[in-house]
Amino acid sequence: MKLVFEKSMPGHASVILPPLDVEKKALPENLSRGRLPRLPELSETEVSRHYTELVHEVYGVNSGFYPLGSCTMKYNPRIDEEIAALPSFTGIHPLAPQEATEGCRKVLEEAADLLEEISGMDAMTFQPAAGAHGEFTGVLLIKQYHDARGDEKRRKIIVPDSAHGTNPATAAMCGYEVVNIASAPDGCVDLDALKAALGEDTAGLMLTNPNTVGLFDPNILEITRLVHEAGGLCYYDGANLNAIMGHVRPGDMGFDCVHMNLHKTFATPHGGGGPGAGAVGCKAFLAPYLPKSALMDGGEGIQVRGFAGNFLVVLKALTYILTLGKEGIPQASETAVLNANYLMKGVKEVFTPAFDRICMHEFVLDLSDYKKATGVSALDVAKRLIDYGIHPPTMYFPLIVHEALMLEPTETESRETLDQVAEIFRKVKEDGIREPELLHTAPHNATIGRPDEVAAARNPILKAEL
């Protein structure tokens, strides 16, 4: 596909601005740039066609089945977009006087109330712009708490080895030493390993529950009790909240603070990699440490982003929560769990689950036996799924399972779709047995074949030659 720069024709343009109607002020030469930026020059028709060409090369949730484990690719309702596009929200300046922004503040207050109830927390901030940003904020709450008490010996954060990479990276950004603890054979926290890691240097534990293999840790109350007993705090990574909304709350499990990915659990779209929102909730004793905006709120305190966060994303999530309500929220979760188990039952006849038991909203397949027998890897299988028109599952995560494929169907898929997907997995498996090369070189029906990532990394080309 041609780059937009390659379609540029000198002089092609849209007429957007009226002529300048005041005296032209010249910027002094010592402040001026040497030449104009070489931006593309296109008429509006050409712009429209360029982006239409691009959009044809994108697979969205609207395109088909998107079982990307850990990412909760549920349907993103259009009404949420319509509300978030209202000029009565998009046109509001964050620094307008209080009386002029009552609607926006009410949106944030109401969303906070509802999410506090769902998570079992007492206070909430919407400043973090994504899940990892929420983790950063949450662990900074823990850090401030220990600092305020003068408890300086607490230098370590405990993270299970099944955790998302963001957890250890976050702990490091907060100045903590990371203690990785091995998971038990059932994929859950190894209580002995946890006990051995805990001590008076423990600042806290970061945990996802259900965990990254899709299992709810039955020892959760004991885990949080042990951490508290050692003087640490418990951080809940809400990446997998979609499994449990309305059925059990992080606050009741003993967690002190949480982040929720509004762009996963609360149906706001991922946008090809953001904007998201990583709302952070906490118990009352941590509330004084929540971030503020120096300009909007004044005062001291931490701040992780400008202004009040990704407001429109919060607005979409609020629209979603109010639509589902008290019955719909738990129903969404239990259907997500039901769909995952139903799909696992279908796929289990084809590939081996890493943990063959009732799962939560996602499950992990272990393809190492299949790879041994056929030479076909999890990557090959994932790429072959593209030929059958579905998005590949998450690959090679969590790290504790070899040749892992992680499937999260979400609640917004029908039984027919799940049956078809199980059938597609069967076909792909047979393809691999019959003709391994077909899978090594998959996909065959996409616009490009497998890109040369080694060349991309060795000789990085990160912008167009102009």
Residues 285-304 binding another protein (CB under 8 A) are 291, 293-296, 301-304
CB of 184 to another protein, least distance (A): 14
List 142, 241, 244, 422, residue binding another protein (CB under 8 A): 244
CB of 234 to another protein, least distance (A): 14
CB of 430 to another protein, least distance (A): 22
Q: Does the protein bind another protein through residue 66 (CB under 8 A)?
A: yes
Q: Does the protein bind another protein through residue 375 (CB under 8 A)?
A: no
Q: CB count, 10 Å around CB of 435?
A: 12
Per the document, the length of the chain is 466
| Contact in structure between 249 and 236 (CB atoms under 8 Å) | no
CB of 108 to another protein, least distance (A): 9
Q: Does the protein bind another protein through residue 150 (CB under 8 A)?
A: no
Q: Does the protein bind another protein through residue 368 (CB under 8 A)?
A: no
Report the site for another protein in 183-212 (rule: CB under 8 A).
none
Q: Rounded to whole angstroms, how far apart are CA atoms 200 and 231?
A: 7
Our CB check for another protein shows the closer of 31 and 284 to be: 31
Stretch that binds another protein, among 189-197, 241-249, 281-289, 431-439 (CB under 8 A): 241-249
List 54, 148, 182, 433, residue binding another protein (CB under 8 A): 54
Q: List CB contacts of 134: < 8 A, sequence separation 6 or more.
A: 128, 238, 259, 260, 261, 278, 279, 280
Query: How far does Cα 251 stand from its chain's mean position?
Result: 21
Q: Does the protein bind another protein through residue 421 (CB under 8 A)?
A: no
Stretch that binds another protein, among 228-236, 271-279, 401-409, 427-435 (CB under 8 A): 271-279
List 184, 334, 352, 426, residue binding another protein (CB under 8 A): 334
Q: What's the N-to-C CA distance of the chain in angstroms?
A: 16
CA-closest candidate to residue 434, choices 369, 374, 392, 351: 374
CB of 56 to another protein, least distance (A): 7
Q: Does the protein bind another protein through residue 1 (CB under 8 A)?
A: yes
Q: Residue 233: what are its φ and ψ, rounded to 5°?
A: -115, 160
Our CB check for another protein shows the closer of 66 and 235 to be: 66
Q: Does the protein bind another protein through residue 378 (CB under 8 A)?
A: no
Q: How many CA atoms lie within 13 A of 195 on its CB side?
A: 4
Q: List CB contacts of 401: < 8 A, sequence separation 6 or more.
A: 213, 354, 364, 366
| Contact in structure between 364 and 404 (CB atoms under 8 Å) | yes
Q: Rounded to whole angstroms, how far apart are CA atoms 192 and 159?
A: 14
Q: What angle do CA 403, 409, 410 make, to 5 degrees?
A: 135
List 65, 67, 69, 107, residue binding another protein (CB under 8 A): 107
Q: Does the protein bind another protein through residue 124 (CB under 8 A)?
A: no
Q: Does the protein bind another protein through residue 49 (CB under 8 A)?
A: no
